[in-house]
Structures are given as C-alpha cells and as structure tokens.
Amino acid sequence: MTSGNVEEILQAGALEIRLTEGLVSVPGGVLMLSVREFHLLVALARRTGGILRREELYRTVWGSELRVFSRSLHKILTTRRTGRWRLRSARGSSSARAARAPVRRLGGRSRHGHDKQGVNVNPRNLVALSATVLLSAALAACGSSSSKSSTTPSGSSSATITGAGSTFAAPVYSQWGSQGASGVSVNYQAVGSGAGLTALETKTANFGASDPPLKPADEAAILKNGSPAVQIPMFLGAITASYNVAGVKTGLKLDGKTLGDIFLGKVKSWNDNEIKALNPGVVLPGTPITTIHRSDSSGTTAGFTGFLAAVDPEFKTKVGSGKDVNWPGGTGAKGNAGVAGAVAQTSGSIGYVEQAYALQHNFTYASIKNKAGVFVAPSLASATAAGLGVTVPANLGISISDPSGAGSYPITSATFIVVNQDLCKAGLSATAAKAVATFINYGLNAGQAVLSAAQYAALPAAILAKDKAAAAGLQCNGAAVGAP
C-alpha cells in the first residue's frame, strides 16, 4: 500500500467496512448503503465490537422491524429451509434460491444453528442483496418499477421511493427523506452521478441524481424507458479544494492555473514558487503534494474539472472535463466521503470535496480566484452568488463554470433530480409516481428553507420558478401528477 493510498478497515463478522472508500464489502460483493446507513452501521459495529445482532441492526440502521423496508429485508435474511437460506422477494414470493453452500454468520451461533446473536447470510447471495434488497425491495414496497400501472394518481403520497446517484447531494436527500416530506419515505443510494443515471435507465431507482446536466446520450438512454427525460436543478453547493498541510490555515490562495498544475503533477511541493507567489508572507512547508481524486463516475469531478478546463487551457487539453477523466497521477477514492477520508489521513494531500463534507471533517480549504480577480472562500453566500445570472436552457441543464460576479465562488455546482416526464409510462405505479412528484415539490418549496443547515445554497428565484413549472409537468399515463 502506498503512502498516498491510506485506508482504514473495520471488521464486523463477515462484513468488511472500508471507511476511506465509504464501502461495505462482503464475500462476493458490496452492499449499497446510503450515507446515513453507512455511518450508522460503522457506529453500531464499533459500539458492539464487531458483532452485529439482527434486532439492533434493524433498529439502528433501518429504524425498526415494523417498517415496510425492514420487514422486506427481514424476510430475505431470515427465511430458512433445510439448514440453508433462500432469497425471497420483498413481497414474500421465492425469487431466487441460495446456492447450496455453507452459510456465514454476522455474529454468534446457537447450538442448533438458529440465529441467536446475528444474521445468517449465504455469501453468494450478498451481491443480490446489494442490488435487490437495497434498491428493488424498496421499489416493490411502493409499487415495482418493472410493473407498469395503467391507473391515474389517487392523490395519496404515502409511499417509499428510491433514488440513486450523486454523493454531493446525499446529505440533503437523506435529510429531506428522513423528515418525511409530505409522507414520502426515501431510500437514497449515494453511488455517484454516473451510477445514478444508470439506475434510472435500468429502472432500479425511481429517480436518478446527477450533478452535471444530462448529455444527449443520457437523454436518449432515459427516453428508452418510454418517456422523455426531465432534469430539475434542486440546489447549489460549493466544491472545495481541501488540503491537509501542517501549519497552513484555511484561506490559502489558489488560482485556477496553479490548482490545475497541482493536479497535473507539475507543482509537486507546498512551497513551490507558483503557490508562494499567490501567498506572500505565508510560511509554506516543503511537504510533497499528494492529490486525491474521485475513482468513480462523479458529478463532483465534473464540476471541479469543468472549472479547471474553463480557466486552464493546458488542463483542458491534457485532462479535460466530465464525470470520468484520466488523471495523470494521484490517489483515487470513491465518493465525496472517500476523498474526504483520504485527505484527512494523508499528510500533504489536497482533494476536491463538497463543502458539507469539508466542514464535517474540519478541513482547511483554499480561497479560489474567480473571474473578477477576487479570491473567494466557499460559503453559502458565495455559492448562491455563483448561481445568479446563470443562463437557464429549455431543458434546465444549467452549468456553472467560472461564474461572473466579484462575490461568486468559482467552483460551484448545481445538482439535479432526473426522472422520466411520464413516470408511469416509464414503469412506476401511480402511487410511486405521485410520491416522486411530492418529494420533488417538497424540495423546491419547504426543502429550500432547510438547505443552509446542511451547508448547501438555495436556488435563485429565476431558476426555481422554471423548476416548479417542470415539476408541474410530470405525468402518470398522461394525467398531471406533479402539481403540489
């Protein structure tokens, strides 16, 4: 393991919790968990010394055994037959049989092999548990996306829906969902923007979440579900250049050219003349620089590289911009949480993370030179200022790269919820379609007022008005479903 690839692993029975990457791996696969579920699982494993009791697992991570989602999970994990475990669908019918292999245990074992302290899980079924339980089970609970409904919305919004995508947006969607937006319960999987769009395209999520706007290829893929794609900007956030350099406080000044040269590997130490020239009077150590970047398909990467490509021609030529780029060096980590963890554990490192993650880790981060020539720190005010005056195209695919305005923070990103315009033609039930629309409308109305608590910026009025019009146009088999 290299010095730039620091990783902390917590063992909990057969689970391997990779704290740096934000992943829970198991023999043969990876569990897909929301940010909130992941942190709760980590806390539970630490508190219990690595032994997870089923009842406490449900109660701590998923609320209680009485919830629909937890009850579905309970059926999948606790259906025994002839000493082995059988995978069942969330509705209780047999959907797959476990491979005939010995079971593994997360916790203790009674003399007769019954579940005394933990959960018996066949490791060959854990890949299915990733995709089927934590996405499809919730879909089935609210009306499976693979079963098209021919009825119109009934007006009831009480349902469980699933979303997948942006880690940038995860803290907000988890907050909105946990508050029970108008009766809607949300199971959100923070798997990255690219994977979120794939989940929508393959109907394993009710909505996708992406930070960069859709490309024509994305729109074409989503259209195959039976209805055009609709992307709705939900809020704004600052992408910080966070660093871990002993003795250097928050506010180190960097411009786009210098930041680009750091990630190109041209600026190799913190006392390089290029950095010193921007920070007269600041004592900078000769610590080697380790860059930390995303290893997954990432909207945060798109926002960060979009800024660098806009201001640095060399970076644009050698790296470019987008959710997936070929970095010339550095260490990769999965998700905003993974990058944040790697920066926290690597002396001399610098990485790009959303502001909420930077504040959570008490990071020091740079003030970035904007188009007006002003060095601006990331904040709610500077992120909001970056959204003012942005041109809003007909498909709402706004892009904020090096915005104008003296108070604008230049690395600011919008994040989108992506759905099919006619949700029922794309496979959702009428109840699920109404619930998705209710969740979106909550976010565009009451949800805007709580964004600041999570260190995200509300949308400017001009963007918000067009968003609400798009939400009102959502349909279920031709009937309006989007009006609040």
Question: What is the pLDDT averaged over residues 129-141?
Answer: 33
- Which position has the token pair 């019009």? 469
Distance CA 19, CA 3 (A): 17
Examine the pLDDT at 52 and tell me if it is beyond 60.
no
The CATH code belonging to domain 237-387 is 3.40.190.10
Name the pTM for this structure. Answer: 0.67
Tell me, rounded to whole angstroms, the distance of Cα 409 from its chain centroid: 22
pLDDT at 128: 31
Name the average pLDDT for the chain: 77
Distance CA 321, CA 304 (A): 8
Tokens representing residue 321 in the block: 């911009």
Distance CA 282, CA 275 (A): 10
Distance CA 261, CA 270 (A): 12
Burial class (CB in 10 A: 0-12, 13-18, 19+), 86: middle
- Give every CB contact of residue 313 below 8 A, 6+ residues apart in sequence: none
Burial class (CB in 10 A: 0-12, 13-18, 19+), 1: exposed
Examine the pLDDT at 440 and tell me if it is beyond 50.
yes
Which of 61-70, 198-207, 230-239, 255-264 is predicted least confidently? 61-70
Over 147-161, what HEC string results?
A: CCCCCCCCCCCCEEE
Per-residue pLDDT tens over the stretch 375-408: 999 999 999 999 998 999 999 999 998 888 999 9
Burial class (CB in 10 A: 0-12, 13-18, 19+), 159: buried
Per-residue pLDDT tens over the stretch 160-212: 899 999 988 988 988 888 765 557 888 889 999 999 999 999 999 999 999 99
Contacts 24+ apart (CB under 8 A), 57-64: 57/119, 61/37, 62/37
Distance CA 392, CA 459 (A): 12
Q: Are strands 159-165 and 184-190 parallel, antiparallel or unpaired?
A: parallel
pLDDT at 74: 37
Tokens representing residue 334 in the block: 């999965």
Domains 139-147+155-236+417-480 and 237-387 are alike in CATH topology: yes
pLDDT at 14: 60
CA-CA-CA-CA dihedral for 151, 154, 157, 163, to nearest 10: 10
CATH class of segment(s) 139-147+155-236+417-480? alpha beta
pLDDT at 25: 65
CB atoms within 10 A of CB 479: 13
Per-residue pLDDT tens over the stretch 242-268: 999 999 999 999 999 999 999 999 999
pLDDT at 229: 97
Tokens representing residue 251 in the block: 């506010």
Domain assignments of the chain as residue spans, ordered by start: 9-138, 139-147+155-236+417-480, 237-387
